[in-house]
Amino acid sequence: MTTATAELLTVPEVMARLKLGRTKVYDLIRTKRLVSITEGRARRIPESSLQAYVRTRLEEAAG
């Protein structure tokens, strides 16, 4: 999947997928653990960024 065709998720969609609150998701964005883009007031998180975050957390838990 290329960046141009990557699915962009809203913050509420990421909240639902990770089962986390809004503040925690924005904290992950602020600390650059989740990459996001902003267009005007709309913030979107590429699905690949979400997958990378989950993969990293799994590796941390296993290590």
Q: Is residue 25 part of a domain?
A: yes
CA angle 36–42–48, rounded 5-degree value: 30
C-alpha distances in Å from residue 19, one per residue of 3, 22, 55? 25, 10, 16
Q: What is the pLDDT of residues 11-55, one digit of tens each?
A: 999 999 999 999 999 999 999 999 999 999 999 999 999 999 999
Rounded to two decimals, what is the model's pTM? 0.85
Residue range(s) defining the domain that contains residue 52:
8-62
18 alpha carbon, distance to own chain's centre: 9
Token readout for 34 is: 């989740």
Q: Is residue 2 part of a domain?
A: no
Number of domains in the chain: 1
Confidence band, pLDDT 50/70/90 cuts, at residue 4: low
Confidence band, pLDDT 50/70/90 cuts, at residue 63: confident
Token readout for 5 is: 């065709």
